[in-house]
Copies of this chain bind each other. A is one copy, B any other.
């Protein structure tokens, strides 16, 4: 059996708690002889800043580059609001994405039937929802230069951020979206603001070309990002795969996640290019939810998004689709049995702790 190297980066807030439940699952897979994972742990975000005054140390970056997959918790919190911009918690995550070339961010927005009523949307609008946002993750306004604040004198400053996209960056993310759609409902909706942004014009042009050249059998639609956002709220089930840039993807995937009512349940995968020689790709898996500092350390957090992110790792990094299916089924079974953490329980019922939820899923497996 091949040994897989995992780097666990729990991060801040509820990160360590939910990561604990993944660790429990990994230990069990190892001891039951189902798989062979070698795990190492590192610091990222505010916890790295507290230890080393950086958002991720060079040592942990080296470990990240060496790992077969990174399992990431969450970063940030008011505690670090005043730290210098360059070493703010988020910088660690952004560096991992950029330096490892994790350009493709897959964010499924699935409405768990048992949780449809937790959505602020009407049941009929979200029941059965199953879409994926494919977000470009290493380009756009997140990394473009110049990115500066300049003092103009007279109490005036000027802030600049730069949105940059090259053809190849749009091509490769478009391919990820089309490939994914082929395994799903065969439909891709591309979103940009071509009526205002030159990057939107190029985005639209390149996605259209890739479609025509390589994926003419997949249905392609284009929508302006603002009306796309509206359509997501109005009738999300009209979509299958949505492909969009880094900043629109940030907004739209969060909104899509919130629609489902299952925010504490949603995983994500950030993937690099497949290496021609090794056939491997760098990958980082993280829950869609954040570090939730307000409930950290109290055993209240829902570990499902984190466990489900590990499930995505099994599927996308280790070709263990069957095992991933079993993890998904265990989560569904535990939910069906009625167990709920505080974020998803209905009024008057008793909430399970992070550990109770993790143990129940493991037992089900």
* Interface positions of A (Cβ within 8 A of B): 76, 85, 88, 90, 94, 120-122, 125, 141-142, 144, 147-149, 152, 155-168, 193, 195-199, 201-203, 225-227, 229-230, 233-235, 247-248, 250-251, 254-255, 257-259, 263, 290
Contacts and interface: CB of A to CB of B under 8 A. Distances in A.
A286 B343 CA distance: 41
Contact of A120 (B125, B161, B290): B125
Considering residues A85, A163, A196, which has the most beta carbons from chain B within 10 angstroms of its beta carbon? A196
Nearest to A166: B158
A121 B126 CA distance: 10
Nearest to A198: B159
Nearest to A249: B226
A162 B159 contact: no
A255 B230 contact: yes
Copies of the chain in the assembly: 2
18 contacts: A85-B198, A90-B196, A120-B122, A120-B234, A141-B141, A141-B196, A142-B196, A147-B197, A156-B167, A158-B164, A158-B165, A159-B197, A159-B202, A160-B198, A196-B250, A226-B254, A233-B233, A234-B258
Contacts of A160: 144, 162-164, 198-199
Given A121-B121, A193-B250, A251-B225, A161 B198 contact: yes
B258 A233 contact: yes
A230 B254 contact: yes
Nearest to A165: B159
Contacts of A196: 90, 94, 141-142, 247, 250
Contacts of A164: 158-160
Given A198-B149, A226-B251, A233-B233, A166 B161 contact: no
B166 A163 contact: no
Nearest to A142: B196
Nearest to A94: B196
Contact of A163 (B161, B195, B233, B235): B161
Given A161-B198, A225-B251, A251-B251, A156 B168 contact: yes
B250 A233 contact: no
Contacts of A167: 152, 155-158
B197 A161 contact: yes
Contacts of A225: 251
A229 B202 contact: no
A250 B201 CA distance: 18
A251 B199 CA distance: 17
A227 B293 CA distance: 14
B121 A227 contact: no
Contacts of A166: 152, 156-159
Contacts of A147: 197-198
